[in-house]
Chain A
Amino acid sequence: MTISKRIFIPVSILCAFAAERWISFLFPEFFFVPPLTVFVISLWFLALSPAAAVFFSFLGGFFLDVMSAFPFGTYTALLLVYAGASAAIRINLAESHKRFALPLWGAIVLFTLPFGVLGIGSIISFLRSIPFHLSVSGFAAALAAAALWAVFYFLLSVGFASGIRRMRRSSRP
């Protein structure tokens, strides 16, 4: 791992953690705050080796599980799933489509997070007999919000990338 990655990974994750908390603190009426910490960790998976991704899954997952209201292990398992999925996407994405990797993967993470958290949480609670309630109406609202964040992020990142490309083209002599 390069020195820049060693600095940027913890700084970006801490910033995402703080941003998530500030959004929920300043706008408590938001039913579903964008899960920025998991999102940023999973974005880094695209740039890391599988071993490093697994390491960050355990480290980040443990930290999030300690604070979470969901059964212990939910976030660790979810991040491990994302680590595996990001490796599969990286391998199978054609070279010509690599520039879409970041927007595509980010949108997938944002959209699948409610399924992941509630699904894995339900499985762990079933296996360990921990009371855990799955609210259908709450899940529908979370899913709608997740879809909104995913579309928003995808459009924003694609627009940003194409804007930078145009700027580079126009600056060429």
Chain B
Amino acid sequence: MKLFSSHWFKVFIGMAALVVLVFSSDTPAVMYLRERTLTFERSLSNSWIGAFLFPRASRELPSRVDESRRIQALEFQLEAANKENELLRSAFDFTRSLGPSADGLKAANVFSYSNELGRETLLVDAGTDKGIGKGALVLDSSFFLVGTVAEAGKFVSKIDIASNAGNAFDAEILPGGAVVVAKGVGGGVFLLDLVPIDMPVRKGDFVGFLPKRGVPYASAIFFLGEVVGEARTESTIFKAVRAVSPVLPASLTMIFILP
């Protein structure tokens, strides 16, 4: 009898500890522990054992000598592209105020990618210390939407990939211009809802993400994906369209965050 009651006591203690851990997960003490663990993982990812535990695309780069040459070549290309860009801007009379300025973007390095039951997540080495908050937009180097910040710690943030199931965004099919709702279904695929049935949509059309009104970059359009085909629906007014994001979260090494 004593043993029986002792077992139940242990179970009770275990359950109580779990409940305390879950319900106090947002308290400063547990948040501190969580952040410390993530910071430790970030440091670990930069060590030699991190190459084994946290695979990253950038680790496949050649040695440092080749790397410096490659960076020099890239800097040269960037300068040339900037000059070409300025020429095009003046030719088409575009102004810089149309899109987000380079100063507003915060660059961050990806140190972990995980896929749990189809939910993709990135961990990056920038947090509230760089002014990044929950819900901030995350872009890749080509201005394609990668996702949003799900959790922001002091030095580390967790990124929820845009195409994960359950995410939905206001979007626009380009060049048609129809405003639709893009729903993530996982695996880099979006289902575009509320597309008028008479609207012609072709394979290869771009899907632009419309940021919320009121934000500084509200007039900018970020690319979400590319139309790959239509999906069957029972509606007679709207049709559903399938789009695919060209972003491969597993291969991302650097991302840009719009705080």
Contact = CB atoms under 8 A, between A and B. Distances in A.
A28 B251 contact: yes
Contacts of B114: 21, 24, 67-69
A76 B18 contact: yes
Interface stretch (A40-48, A102-110, A130-138, A160-168): A130-138
A117 B113 contact: no
Contacts of B119: 69-70
A31 B250 contact: no
B72 interface: no
A128 B23 contact: yes
Interface string B116-145: 111111010000000000000000000000
A135 B23 contact: no
A166 B167 CA distance: 53
A58 B21 CA distance: 10
Contacts of B187: 29, 31
Given A21-B113, A67-B112, A76-B21, A138 B55 contact: no
* Chain B interface residue bracket vs A: 35 or more
A54 B17 CA distance: 11
B14 to A, nearest CB: 5
Highest count of chain A CB atoms <10 Å: which of B25, B115, B166: B115
Interface string B149-177: 01000000010100011110000000000
A141 B167 CA distance: 18
B246 to A, nearest CB: 13
B41 A28 contact: no
Contacts of B18: 73, 76-77, 80
A149 to B, nearest CB: 12
A17 interface: yes
B70 interface: no
B186 interface: yes
B194 interface: no
Contacts of B113: 21, 24-25
Given A66-B38, A76-B18, A21 B118 contact: no
B234 to A, nearest CB: 17
B23 to A, nearest CB: 7
Contacts of A117: 116-117
Contact of A69 (B10, B25, B116): B116
A60 interface: no
Contact of B54 (A21, A50, A84, A137): A21
A124 B22 contact: yes
A153 interface: no
Interface in B1-55: 10-11, 14, 17-18, 21-23, 25, 33-34, 37-38, 41, 52-55
Contact of A32 (B52, B112, B117, B121): B117
Contacts of B123: 67
Contacts of A101: none
**Which 10 residue pairs spanning A and B have beta carbons closest together?**
A133-B166, A135-B165, A73-B22, A28-B250, A72-B25, A25-B55, A24-B115, A69-B121, A69-B119, A138-B165
25 contacts: A14-B53, A18-B55, A21-B112, A21-B114, A25-B250, A28-B248, A28-B249, A30-B115, A31-B118, A31-B187, A32-B115, A51-B10, A62-B21, A62-B33, A66-B38, A67-B112, A67-B114, A70-B116, A72-B22, A76-B18, A128-B22, A133-B166, A133-B167, A135-B185, A142-B118
